[in-house]
Amino acid sequence: MSAARSFQLSAQRQRAATIAAAVALTLSCQIAAVHAEDTAPGQIHFRGETAIGSSEGAFRRWQISRAVIDEEHPGQSEVEVVVDLTSLDTGSSVRDRHLRSDDFFGVERYPIARVRLHDFAVDDTTHISAQVDLDLHGHQRTFPMQFAVDRSTRHIVGDVTVIRSDYEIGPQGWVFNPLRIADTVEIQVDTVVPSATVATKSDTPVVSGQGHASN
């Protein structure tokens, strides 16, 4: 191998190592930011069905990392959320370890999920809807979601069904196992949105919170 080719490969490896280090540092900072606050603005619950019953839990650490709220022009509003996937809690340490493993969320490689809500619309006096970009387990999908809203308290509650195979989470295809979680997982979000006309940098948390696991 020529000296020039060797130098080129060395430079490429160095750039790759630098990029990997930058990504790892960014993830570490985001996780640290989620851990930094403990005020609970709400809850993020999940429920999956098996042949012998349901499996429920919550993500205990998450934060609204950015919010632009325009009540006069809701379509221009945006909300971004960061969820610490290592904080999942089903009330069973054995099950939690399994869900965190590479069999499901693979939190060592994918420790956080990012959620972006945009294109808000007022459906009626008690409901709003938005498009949701969910970046999870290395995959991104966009879907609509509706929320019930109490305008006086800014309290919102929304439910959505997520197809876990869209994100390559858990066993793929049909497997005979009575404990196997169905492909559809129900997600419920219950929180209070920030005050009107809040604009923050994407790396600055607005509010953070803990979900509470269902037993």
In a domain, 64, yes or no: yes
Q: What share of the chain is helix, strand, coil (3-state, %, to 5)?
A: 25, 40, 35
In a domain, 28, yes or no: no
Residue 83's nearest CA partner among 100, 62, 99 is: 62
Give pLDDT, residue 57: 96
Q: Is the pLDDT of residue 168 over 70?
A: yes
What is the predicted pLDDT for the residue at 81? 94
Instruction: Specify if 15 maps to a domain.
Output: no
Specify the range with the lowest mean pLDDT, choosing from 67-76, 122-131, 204-213.
204-213
Question: What is the pLDDT confidence band of residue 176, given thresholds at 50, 70 and 90?
Answer: low
List pLDDT tens digits, range 21-57: 333 343 344 444 444 455 547 899 999 987 777 889 9
% of the chain with per-residue pLDDT over 70: 68
pTM of this prediction exceeds 0.85? no
Tokens of 130: 């938005």
Task: Report the mean per-residue pLDDT for the chain.
Answer: 78
Q: What is the rounded distance in angstroms from the CA atom of residue 100 to the CA atom of residue 111?
A: 9
Residues 6+ apart with CB under 8 A from 130: 79, 117, 118, 119, 120, 121, 144, 145, 147
Calculate the CA 158 to chain-centre distance.
Answer: 14
Whether pLDDT at 156 is above 70: yes
| CATH code (residue 140) | 2.40.128.110
- Does any domain span residue 6? no
Asked, for residue 16, whether it belongs to a domain, the answer is no
pLDDT value, residue 131: 98
Is 70 exceeded by the pLDDT of residue 111? yes
pLDDT at 71: 83
**The pLDDT of residue 50:** 76
Residue 48 in domain: yes
**Does residue 1 sit within a domain?**
no
Q: How many independent structural domains does the chain possess? A: 1
Structural domain contains residue 158: yes
Averaged pLDDT for residues 88-115: 95
pLDDT tier, 165 (very low <50, low <70, confident <90, very high otherwise): very high
- How confident is residue 151, by pLDDT bands cut at 50, 70 and 90? confident
Write the pLDDT tens digit of every residue in 191-214: 988 775 444 444 444 444 445 444
pLDDT at 125 over 90: yes
Structural domain range at position 43: 37-209
